[in-house]
């Protein structure tokens, strides 16, 4: 799992730099006092380099990154935004918060947005934007989804809260659509406690998002902040200097985090791939997973729950599937009446309830893959 396992001296060094001397915790202003130290700006530049994009905007959470991205699209209230039914509730909340309508669609065997469901929905609804999610670190089918979006002239946001560090072809997830968003919350692979980021190559989108996340301030260098130019109202989703300091420490360990995920997930899979009653989550040929979790399916939901109980007895934990579907599946969200769908999502539900998801950690205990193997042996 996540960067929270390795919070340490790299983060502390940057935090100490903020806390020694001037103590300026706001990302802008106080030019004369701060000795040219801008940690939020620095984090944005590091991310731009890492992902090879023109613009990165650090914000206060992953949900805020989605909200800011939608604001930058300037959609009228009531616009329909298509997304997938298997996601974290924050994806849908950002849509609702923006006054738009979430259209939650079926997933395919990647457990992400099914291109066919998207195609069908495009024929039924006037869709203004698409939020595709790389749920738990496996890339969605970006080739087909981008093609459909392009043919209908619809912009694509990639909710890369779990997919950070993954790739599709030679491109990082989050850089394939028009906008990518990340979460740095405490459970995510790169963490700042709370935090998030929006990336894009579209300078107009960046300009609007940047202003909107800061009360509409355009940060016009020609004028003082209190005289700043503004074209719309906005909100406050700014990241603090302390948060960015933690983020800078985490980004120094970016390669290590994802290399560990991949090595540790592969070590588990190598021990268990011969079991015929499990089938690994499908993956597009061009996808490189960030592997937040190792997911496989079994025959039916009863077996999945029994296997989950058996794993728990051996102290092997699971992550979201199968036990926490109601947190992550739109069909169960009766508390959000704004949601619309095209099907009853029963195929998606059936698929999810058959899945087992093992968390992948950076610090994997010695013998853990063998323990998982033993558990499956006893079960089969």
Ligand X SMILES: *Cc1c(COP(=O)(O)O)cnc(C)c1O
Residues that bind ligand X (CB under 6 A): 61-63, 87-88, 90-91, 133, 159, 161-162, 183, 185, 196
**41: closest CA among 72, 18, 63, 66?**
18
Q: Which is nearer to ligand X, 185 or 297 (CB)?
A: 185
- What is the smallest separation between the CB atom of 343 and ligand X, expressed in angstroms? 21
- CB 371 to ligand X: min, Å: 27
- How near is the Cβ of 4 to ligand X at its closest, in Å? 13
Distance CA(257)–CA(363), nearest Å, equals 10
CB of 183 to ligand X, least distance (A): 3
Around 134, how many Cα atoms within 13 Å sit in the side-chain half-sphere? 37
| Distance (Å, whole) CA 48 – CA 56 | 6
DSSP characters over 201-258: S-HHHHHHHHHHTBTT----TTS-GGG---SS---B-BPPHHHHHHHHHHHTTHHHHH
Compute the least distance from the CB of residue 112 to ligand X, in Å: 10
The least CB distance from residue 322 to ligand X, in Å, is 17
CA gyration radius for the chain? 21
If the CB atoms of residues 61 and 146 are measured against ligand X, the closer one turns out to be: 61
Q: Give 24 or 110: the residue with its C-beta nearer to ligand X.
A: 110
Smaller CB distance to ligand X: residue 146 or 181? Answer: 181
Q: Which is nearer to ligand X, 88 or 168 (CB)?
A: 88
Residues 345 and 49: their CA atoms lie apart, in Å, by 40
- Neighbour tally for 92: CB within 10 Å: 25
Looking at the Cβ atoms of 329 and 368, the one nearer to ligand X is 329
d(CA 98, CA 21): 40
């Amino acid at each position: 799992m996540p960067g929270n396992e390795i919070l340490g001296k790299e983060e502390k060094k940057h935090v100490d730099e903020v806390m020694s001397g001037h103590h300026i915790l706001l990302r802008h202003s106080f030019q004369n006092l701060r000795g040219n130290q801008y940690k939020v700006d620095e984090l944005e530049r590091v991310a731009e380099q890492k992902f090879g994009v023109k613009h990165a905007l650090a914000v206060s959470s992953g949900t805020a990154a989605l909200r800011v991205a939608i604001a930058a699209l300037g959609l009228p209230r009531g616009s329909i935004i298509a997304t997938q039914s298997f996601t974290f509730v924050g994806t849908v909340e950002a849509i609702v918060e923006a006054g738009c309508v979430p259209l939650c669609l079926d997933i395919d065997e990647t457990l992400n947005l099914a291109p066919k469901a998207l195609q069908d929905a495009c024929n039924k609804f006037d869709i203004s934007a698409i939020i595709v999610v790389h749920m738990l670190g496996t890339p969605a089918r970006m080739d087909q989804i981008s093609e459909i979006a392009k043919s209908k002239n619809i912009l694509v946001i990639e909710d890369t809260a779990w997919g950070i560090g993954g790739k599709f072809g030679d491109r990082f997830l989050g850089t394939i659509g028009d906008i990518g968003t990340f979460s740095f919350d405490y459970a995510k692979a790169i963490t700042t406690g709370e935090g998030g980021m929006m990336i894009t190559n579209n300078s107009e989108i960046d300009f609007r998002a940047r202003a909107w996340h800061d009360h509409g301030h355009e940060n016009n260098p020609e004028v003082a902040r209190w005289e700043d130019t503004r074209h719309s109202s906005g909100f406050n989703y700014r990241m603090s200097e302390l948060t960015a300091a933690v983020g800078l420490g985490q980004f120094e360990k970016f390669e290590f985090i994802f290399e560990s995920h991949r090595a540790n997930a592969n070590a588990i899979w190598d021990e268990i791939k011969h079991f015929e009653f499990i089938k690994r989550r499908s993956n597009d040929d061009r996808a490189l997973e960030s592997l937040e979790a190792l997911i496989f399916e079994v025959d039916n939901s009863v077996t999945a729950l029994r296997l989950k109980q058996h794993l728990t007895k051996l102290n092997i934990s699971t992550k979201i599937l199968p036990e926490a579907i109601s947190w992550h599946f739109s069909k169960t969200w009766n508390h959000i009446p704004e949601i619309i769908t095209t099907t009853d999502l029963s195929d998606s539900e059936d698929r999810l309830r058959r899945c087992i998801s093992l968390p992948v950690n950076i610090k994997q205990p010695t013998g853990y893959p063998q323990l998982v193997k033993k558990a499956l042996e006893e079960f089969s």
